[in-house]
Amino acid sequence: MKEILSVENMRQSDAHTIATEVPSPQLMYRAGKAVADAVEWRAPVGIVCGYGNNAGDGYVIALELKKRGIECTLLLLEERFSPDGRFYFDKCIEENIPYEICTDSTDLSRFSTLVDCIFGTGFSGEVRSIAKEAIEKYNNTEAYKISVDINSGLSGDTGMGETVCLSDLTCSIGSFKPGHFLNRAKDVMKSKVNLDIGIEPIYTPYHLYEPDASAFPTRQNFSNKSTYGYVALVGGSKKYSGAIRLAAMANASMRAGAGVAMLAVPESLAPMMMPEILEATVYPLSESEGSIIFNENELSELCRRTKSIAFGMGIGLSDEERNSLSLSLDRGMGRLFPQVEAYPELKAHAAIADAMQQNNYLQKEITAARALYNDTVNQWNRDIFDWPTKMIVAAKEGYTTRIPFTASAEVKERAREVFF
């Protein structure tokens, strides 16, 4: 699980750290040194610098490489600096680290390693003029390429950008940002690493859950489709038949490891599904005027046979369909914990344990909301028959009774348990 901070969260967290714990030059030094320590350098090294704090990180990297006897050259787009950047650039001059201003004749192909310190995660808009030419020239070399914080030209929040530095390695500073994973990120970054420099987020971060093969049971050599369970796709209506058809054609459940996919649709849709969906078993459901109707026996049997249910594609918004969804959720969630208990490796997985805890809490929240809704519906149903005033108004305006949510006995019992 990776921690992700938005650009604004990172900016404010950085400012808070500077204001309360670490002076800004020292924090910049931490960033540059962390990059210098994280890379296996191939000399000679060219460090392409813009004019903000990202360039300042580049000057610190140059100082660290100088200490280690690694040949490097600073390549400046302009002689323009942030205050902290100016501080470390002057130190580079004191250490006789060579620098040059990038021009049309600058040859980047002479370097074995290039470091991108042009723009940081705060960049937005379009890359223009000198920076655009430098990035295009940078990308056309055979050097090993490193981007500091994020690839220049790429948005830290969206991962979008037209003119973007390519990298063999991107060294995120402090925390990953959404732009390290979204949209163009995987096209421009071959690999990435986050370097912790002691910045604590002041707002709640996002979390990225990545696939972990160890969380899934190993398949047996001697097994069949029933060994791996049934998945049900429940949905469709006469008016909206395309969504459930597309869900079945995608075949995602079987690609994810299910043994059998069951397509539960209104009875009238079953004939049109069978010729198109070759790998799924069609399970006709009772209907009324082309929509699934609430039939507890059918849905209970479907839930009993399946390990997972995807419900809702094209079902519509009637009370009957809402109650069908409610029952399916109750049945499915009631079986989640026994399924996890059967696989200790799943139960021990941090992401699964966290999801189970959140699910338990949300179940209680949903049950409480359902009870409030049902109380309101029951009051409404009584009020519209209250003679004379309310009953006359209800008749005149065409008000009718409403159907309350249903809940299984198991869900009602769980709702009585103590909240976390």
Residue carrying structure tokens 């043994």: 259
CA distance 290 to 276: 19
Instruction: Write down the pLDDT at residue 321.
Output: 60
Our measurement of the distance from residue 85's CA atom to the centroid of its chain's CA atoms, rounded to an integer in Å, reads 34
**C-alpha angle 56/61/64, rounded to 5°?**
130
Peptide bond just before 388 cis, omega within 30 deg: yes
Q: Which residues of 63-102 are buried (b: 16+ CB within 10 A; e: fewer)?
A: bbbbeeebebbbbbbeeebbebbebbbeebeeeebebeeb
Task: Give the chain's largest Cα–Cα span.
Answer: 96
| Cα–Cα nearest to 32, from 21, 24, 44 | 24
Domain 224-334 has CATH 3.40.1190.20: yes
Instruction: Write down the pLDDT at residue 377.
Output: 81
Look at residue 93 and tell me whether its pLDDT is greater than 90. Answer: yes
Look at residue 354 and tell me whether its pLDDT is greater than 50. Answer: yes
> pLDDT tens, 159-208?
999 999 999 999 999 999 999 999 999 999 999 999 999 999 999 999 88
Q: Predicted confidence band at 420 (pLDDT cuts at 50, 70, 90)?
A: very low
CA distance 15 to 9: 10
> pLDDT tens, 25-58?
999 999 999 999 999 999 999 999 999 999 999 9
Range scoring the smallest mean pLDDT among 155-159, 219-223, 407-411: 407-411
Residue carrying structure tokens 């290039």: 114
Range scoring the smallest mean pLDDT among 99-108, 147-156, 231-240, 399-408: 399-408
CA distance 108 to 138: 7
Q: Predicted confidence band at 286 (pLDDT cuts at 50, 70, 90)?
A: confident
Domain boundaries, the chain: 2-208, 224-334, 344-415
Range scoring the smallest mean pLDDT among 193-197, 326-330, 364-368, 416-420: 416-420
Q: Predicted confidence band at 141 (pLDDT cuts at 50, 70, 90)?
A: very high
CA distance 114 to 139: 10
> pLDDT tens, 322-336?
666 666 556 555 555
Most confident range, picked from 190-199, 223-232, 291-300, 375-384: 190-199
What percent of the chain stands above pLDDT 70? 80
Better-predicted residue by pLDDT, 281 or 22: 22
Domain 2-208 has CATH 3.40.50.10260: yes
Instruction: Write down the pLDDT at residue 318.
Output: 64
- Whole-model pTM above 0.85? no
CA distance 175 to 10: 8
